Amino acid sequence: MAVRISVSVPELVAEKLKKQGDDLARLSLEKVVCSLYREGELTHHEAMQALGCPSRLAFESFLARLNVQRDDYTWDDFVEDGKAFGTPPDA
């Protein structure tokens, strides 16, 4: 289920987003998801689902293209991602 949010942004912000592409709604979603992922609020799997990435490789490529890194990725995150994919790692 998706929640629709309407946001007003300054023209300068809109102009910066428009330089990255025409679909401002999609770009905004990507920015929010990347921010939440980077802050550790979304797991790898949750961020993938939110963006509709078809595979882990596609998501990793997306993150690399935007230079998004999570230095605090823990073993628990790894286990959670494994469960989400149906293949939990051995502890």
Number of C-beta neighbours around residue 70 at 10 A: 16
> What local confidence, expressed as pLDDT, does residue 12 receive?
94
Instruction: Note down the domain range covering 18.
Output: 11-84
43 is a domain residue? yes
> What local confidence, expressed as pLDDT, does residue 19 receive?
92
Most confidently modeled range among 3-7, 36-40, 48-52, 80-84 = 48-52
78 is a domain residue? yes
Tokens for 31? 């920015």
> What local confidence, expressed as pLDDT, does residue 88 receive?
54
- Alpha carbon 69 to chain centroid distance? 11
77 is a domain residue? yes
> What local confidence, expressed as pLDDT, does residue 5 receive?
87
72 is a domain residue? yes
For the chain, how many structural domains are there in total? 1
6 is a domain residue? no
CA distance 2 to 50: 9
1 is a domain residue? no
> What local confidence, expressed as pLDDT, does residue 73 receive?
66
Residues 9-56 have pLDDT tens digits of 899 988 988 998 889 989 999 999 999 988 889 988 899 999 999 988
What is the pTM assigned to this prediction?
A: 0.69
CA distance 39 to 22: 27
